[in-house]
Structure 1
């Protein structure tokens, strides 16, 4: 691609040079998927006892580092396999458009994993060394998501893998390191968050469906087709909100958690944003709305737990 074409592509994606290159590499719109579960798990623990602020901070930073490293491995391996090019939408573009060396991206990813591991040692010392085992497994799957001989992201299991590890596992760890126990209620509360995180991946795959199919991927979006994928995304959203309401009815979540329904508007915008859209660039607002749904839901859920502490109802 000529330098003029690259400039046009950057302009259409509102990409800038300098620090923005490295910021895009992190794919900041995905990092809320790392923050939200830690926040939810910690606030669940806070409803039962006081929390350790240092443990919360360490877990939060480690989770964000692992998510960012996973994004970098995604950027690196998609480039190595020839899946990304100068016209690819939804990537950092640091390699194909900004000229950052692939080995630099890989080294940064490994560095972030290393930093997360050091924070993990601190967390283990303060809680349990079983966290190290779970953390290492999570990092392994973060690598295997786009690395290894058969990347998970190229299969129909990407959404469920991301939802489980970035939702249920992180919420569970965040709760455990504060309380040194785990309950079925925590697992149940994690389900909507896991679904919303899986929805982010589904939205990404809906946008990239055509190009992914041409490159041999077999994601759910490819198997379901464009219309079927939008319907499935709708089902995921409805299921997450239905589970939330059910948990409120059965007193697993407090009455205050009804405020999570304020995020429904973003979910609606996400679904509507995909309808009758064909080009990846046209679907970017819908993907952004999907990520925002997860963010707003998670923040509102955490806030509802704080409100329950301050103003208990029932």
Structure 2
């Protein structure tokens, strides 16, 4: 159990929790929540669990299809499953990942019964995208599309589906919000690619940063963070966000920390980026909770 929890990378779950919470808060601001308090709280619980299981499932499945691993793991790959030679632990993680995704499917199907076919279609797209991130024969992360798909999947798609559970109708607002929050998601992924650039290049792993070059990868990474701030300012100026959303400028000292890590120790870039995302996200969520437009 401890191995499964570790390999599901619980530290990454902050992304899912912020995205689902943003969708729920968007629905609350639109007046769709708490008309049936007990049932709405139950749906909030299901949304959160489904998001956590989906993210964990992606991480577990990703491990199974990783060909470039340490020699110690390669030596212990002596069991066959689905045509792949893997360790018993890797096979266990893969099966758990599929189980997590199946439970997510059941939860999504249940919620779709109350929210409509649109939610069910989005659920199927989300599950396919989650598996295809690393799962063969798709594995779009190996085509340099990991950052793009992570933004779509964990950003607009997850936020909007969480909103749709309560609204049962379309709105552009949760999508606009997600395009601010969601920019940090590919930034975290690019931080990982930047850290592993030399190793990935030597192993022939075609991440986006390897394909376009280290310098361009760094520029895109910084660009995502800068545009997260710019988007927030624009939404505040056009009154789609409260003006005091500009409180996010208080997180700028964390950007300085990122700049220092980029120069001195890229191993610390991922936690530094996640810390910035957490601070940025929590501040904006609090603004949305406390303010009516």
TM-score, length of structure 2 as denominator length: 0.87
- Tell me which residue corresponds to 1:247: 235
> Which stretch shows the higher mean deviation, 143-152 or 193-202?
143-152
| Residue 162 (1) aligns with residue 150 (2) | yes
Structure 1 segments unaligned to the other structure (5+ residues): 1-18, 89-98, 278-282
- 1:95-106 correspondence runs (5 A): 101-106=89-94
Distance 1:239 1:54 in 2: 35
Count of aligned residue pairs for this structure pair: 275
Secondary structure of the structure 2 residue equivalent to 1:275: helix
Across the aligned residues of Structure 1 and Structure 2, the Cα RMSD in angstroms comes to: 2.1
- Tell me which residue corresponds to 2:55: 67
TM-superposed deviation, 1:86: 5.9
Aligned with residue 162 of structure 2, among 159, 174, 184: 174
Distance 1:249 1:122, change over 3 A: same
| Residue 25 (1) aligns with residue 10 (2) | no
Secondary structure of the structure 1 residue equivalent to 2:70: coil
- Tell me which residue corresponds to 2:272: 289
Distance 1:71 1:222, change over 3 A: same
Distance 1:288 1:224 in 2: 24
TM-superposed deviation, 1:128: 1.3
| Residue 47 (1) aligns with residue 29 (2) | yes
Alpha-carbon contact 2:65-2:136 (below 8 Å) kept: no
Alpha-carbon contact 1:230-1:271 (below 8 Å) kept: no
- 1:210-225 correspondence runs (5 A): 210-225=198-213
Structure 2 segments unaligned to the other structure (5+ residues): 34-39, 74-86
Distance 2:253 2:192 in 1: 19
Alpha-carbon contact 2:54-2:101 (below 8 Å) kept: yes
Distance 1:221 1:87, change over 3 A: farther
Secondary structure of the structure 1 residue equivalent to 2:55: helix
Distance 2:15 2:211 in 1: 25
- Tell me which residue corresponds to 2:76: none
Alpha-carbon contact 1:40-1:301 (below 8 Å) kept: no
Deviations 1:12-51 (A, max 9, x none): xxxxxxx643321111121111111111111111112152
Distance 1:239 1:216 in 2: 31
Distance 1:177 1:260 in 2: 29
Alpha-carbon contact 2:181-2:228 (below 8 Å) kept: yes
TM-score, length of structure 1 as denominator length: 0.81
Alpha-carbon contact 2:22-2:174 (below 8 Å) kept: no
